Structure 1
Amino acid sequence: MARGVRAKRATAVTDASIVRHSALRSSLGLVAAKAAQTGAGFAFWIVAARATSDREVGLTTAAVSAVMICTQLAVLGAGSAVIVSVGRGEPPARVLDAAFAIVGVAGTVLALGYLVLQSVVAPDTASASVLFWLTFLVAAVAGTLVIVLDQALVALGRGSSATLRYALGGGVSLAAAGLVAWRAHGASADVLMACWTLGTAVACVVGAVQLRRLVGYRPRPSLRSARGRPLLALGIPHQLLTLTERTPGLVLPLLLAHMVAPEAAAYWYPAWMMAWAAYTAPVLMGIVQFSEGVRDADRLVSTTWASLRWSLTVGGLAAAVLVLFAHPLLNLLGERYAESSAGALRWLAAGLVPYAVLQAYNAVCRASGRYAEAIVVGVALGTALCASALAAADRGATAMALAWLVVLSIGAVMVGLRLVAVLRRVTQDAP
Structure 2
Amino acid sequence: MRAGRGTAETDASTVRHSALRSSLGLVVAKAAQTGAGFAFWVVAARATSDREVGLTMAAVSAVMLCTQLAVLGAGSAVIVSVGRGEPPARVLDAAFAIVGVAGTGLALGYLVLQAAVTPDTASLSVLFWLTFLVAAVTGTLVIVLDQALVALGRGASAAPRYALGGGVALGAAGLVAWRAHGASADVLMACWTLGTTVACVVGAIQLRRLVGYRPRPTLRAARGRSLLALGLPNQILTLTERAPGLLLPLLLAHLVSPEAAAYWYPAWMMAWAAYTAPMLMGIVQFSEGVREPDRLVATTWASLRWSLAVGGLAAVVLVVFARPLLGLMGERYADSSADALRLLAAGLVAYAVLQAYNAVCRARGRYAEAIIVGVTLGAALCVGALLAAERGASAMALAWLVVLSIGAAGAGIRLVAVLRRVKQDSR
Give the TM-score range, shorter chain: over 0.9
Structure 1 counterpart SS, 2:15: coil
Q: Partner of 2:57 in structure 1?
A: 61
2:284 aligns with one of 267, 283, 288: 288
Distance of 1:344 and 1:59 partners within structure 2 = 20
Q: Look up the SS of the partner of 1:9 in the other structure.
A: coil
Structure 1 equivalent of residue 104 of structure 2: 108
- TM-score of the aligned structures, taking structure 1 as reference length: 0.98
Instruction: Please report how far the alpha carbon of residue 11 of structure 1 lies from its aligned counterpart in structure 2 after TM superposition.
Output: 5.2
In the alignment, the residues of structure 2 paired with residue 68 and residue 8 of structure 1 have an alpha-carbon distance, to the nearest angstrom, of: 33
Cα pair distance change 1:411/1:14, threshold 3 Å: same
Distance in 2 between the 1:154 and 1:269 partners?
29
RMSD: 1.1
How does the TM-score come out when normalised to structure 2? 0.98
Deviation of the 1:13 alpha carbon: 4.5
Counterpart Cα distance in 2 of 1:107 and 1:222? 15
Quick one: which of 294, 311, 319 aligns to 1:323? Answer: 319
Q: Which residue of 1 aligns with 2:177?
A: 181
Cα distance 1:425–1:175, how it changes in 2: closer, same or farther (>3 A)? same
- What's 2:37 paired with? 41
Residue 3 of structure 1 aligns with which residue? none
Q: Please tell me the residue identity of whatever aligns with 2:382.
A: C
CA separation in 1, counterparts of 2:406 and 2:12? 45
Name 2:86's counterpart in structure 1. Answer: 90
Q: Distance in 2 between matches of 1:14 and 1:374?
A: 33
CA distance in 2, matches of 1:412, 1:14: 39
> What is the identity, as a one-letter code, of the residue corresponding to 2:251?
L
Residue 211 of structure 1 pairs with residue 207 of structure 2: yes
Tell me which stretches of 4 or more aligned residues in structure 1 moved more than 4 Å.
10-13
Residue identity matched to 1:249: G
Verify the 8 A CA contact 1:17 1:157 in the aligned structure 2. Answer: no
Give the letter aligned to residue 312 of structure 1: L
SS at match of 1:14: coil
Letter in 2 for 1:95: V
Q: 1:394 to 1:213 in 2, by over 3 A?
A: same
Match of 1:357 in 2: 353
Q: Could you tell me which runs of 5 or more consecutive residues in structure 1 were left unpaired when the two chains were aligned.
A: 1-5
The residue type equivalent to 1:422 in the other structure is V
Q: Residues 3-18 of structure 1: matches in 2 within 5 Å?
A: 8-10=4-6, 12-15=8-11, 18=14
> C-alpha displacement at 1:15, in angstroms?
3.0
Corresponding residue number in structure 1 for 2:46: 50
Describe the shift of the 1:177–1:8 C-alpha distance in structure 2 as closer, same or farther (beyond 3 A).
closer
Cα distance in 2 between the residues matched to 1:7 and 1:395: 57
The structure 1 residue matched to 2:119, chosen from 116, 123, 128, is 123
Match 2:77 to one of 76, 81, 98: 81
Shift of 1:129: 1.2
Q: 1:132 aligns with which of 128, 131, 140?
A: 128
Count of residues paired in the alignment: 426
Of all paired residues, the percent bearing the same amino acid is 86
Q: What one-letter code is carried by the residue in structure 1 that aligns with 2:337?
A: S
Q: Distance in 1 between the 2:245 and 2:365 partners?
A: 25
- CA gap of 1:331–1:404, structure 2 versus 1, over 3 A, is same
Residues 29, 159 of structure 1: 8 Å contact kept: yes
Task: State the distance in 2 between where 1:8 and 1:212 align.
Answer: 11
User: How far did 1:16 drift?
Assistant: 6.6
Measured at CA, do residues 383 and 338 of structure 1 come closer, stay the same or move farther in structure 2, by a change above 3 Å? same
Structure 2 equivalent of residue 402 of structure 1: 398
The one of 186, 192, 197 aligned to 1:201: 197
Equivalent AA in structure 1 for residue 104 of structure 2 = T
Residue of 303, 307, 312 corresponding to 2:308: 312
2: CA distance, partners of 1:157 / 1:7: 15
